[in-house]
Amino acid sequence: MVTGGASGIGRAIAQRFGSLGETVVVADLERTGRDGEATDELISRGGGRAEFVRADVASPAEVQELIDGVRERFGRLDVMVNNAGIAGRHNKQLIETTDEDWDAIMAVNLRGVFLCCRASVRAMLGQDPIDDVRGHVINISSQHGMVGPPASPAYAASKGGVVNLTRQLAVDYASRGIMVNAVAPGKILTGSVEQQDPEALAYSHARTPFARLGRPDDVAGAVVFLASPDARFVSGTNLLVDGGWMAY
């Protein structure tokens, strides 16, 4: 299951799992991304198995329905990727951040991750372990959950919350075979590059030692690793995929 899987990083993660022969459920507000394509159809066209479920991760009822539906149709939920997130127009300096801006970011980025973790961990606790692991939860955090990025207090606080929620759940559920990890992307080019603020892009290039900025598929590789048997003893980590951004 990949939330926010209709576009960007979530689409790349869903496609990567699809290409590995896994059954993928794409959950998002809309079925199609900015390019008008539906991730589930892209996966099906490539010979994989995928379906779309409309769900708002900020709604407890919709999240519960989403997880219940997956268990009913497929019998178990092996990997929950909590990727849906927003910033955009709500991302402002502290003084300009309205109550609505703060609540809008928190509702999706932190409450949404909490709701999806709660519902998916509950479901995973009821299924038999495979090779000692009942299930993997992988939260998409951000390098901005570990430092104070310029002018993004709500986003930074939401992602910092995701990083520590990840650690907490890893501690509480590893004994029952549920592995909880995060992946922290650095600057990944998603959406329309023309829409990106040139100043912000220049800042990202200056902060990224690697010769280019990230691609969604760079993040997908790390997520697939954390969901693989090779990572069966890994829990509570926040794996940076940032081209070296956080190394200095």
Ligand X SMILES: NC(=O)c1ccc[n+]([C@@H]2O[C@H](COP(=O)([O-])OP(=O)(O)OC[C@H]3O[C@@H](n4cnc5c(N)ncnc54)[C@H](O)[C@@H]3O)[C@@H](O)[C@H]2O)c1
Q: What does the binding site for ligand X look like in residue numbers (CB under 6 A)? A: 3-4, 6-10, 28-30, 56-58, 83-86, 108, 112, 140, 142, 185, 187-188, 190-191
Which stretch of DSSP H or E encloses residue 182?
strand 178-185
Which stretch of DSSP H or E encloses residue 184?
strand 178-185
Task: Give ∠ CA 161-149-144 in degrees, rounded to 5.
Answer: 40
CB of 206 to ligand X, least distance (A): 15
Query: Is 155 among the residues known to form the active site?
Result: yes
Nearer to ligand X among residue 58 and residue 133 (C-beta): 58
CB of 224 to ligand X, least distance (A): 16
Question: Which residue's structure tokens are 């290039």?
Answer: 205
Cβ-contact 163, 184 below 8 angstroms: yes
Nearer to ligand X among residue 29 and residue 174 (C-beta): 29
CA nearest neighbour of 79 among 149, 165, 183, 186: 183
CB of 158 to ligand X, least distance (A): 8
CB of 210 to ligand X, least distance (A): 13
Nearer to ligand X among residue 29 and residue 234 (C-beta): 29
Nearer to ligand X among residue 113 and residue 133 (C-beta): 113
Query: From the centroid of its chain, how far is CA 45?
Result: 24
Q: Out of 155, 173, 203, 248, which one is annotated catalytic?
A: 155
Cα–Cα distance between 192 and 118 in angstroms, integer?
Answer: 33
**155: which residues sit within 8 A by CB, 6+ positions away?**
87, 90, 91, 105, 109, 142, 144, 149
Cβ-contact 132, 232 below 8 angstroms: yes
Nearer to ligand X among residue 55 and residue 231 (C-beta): 55
Catalytic residue ranges? 155
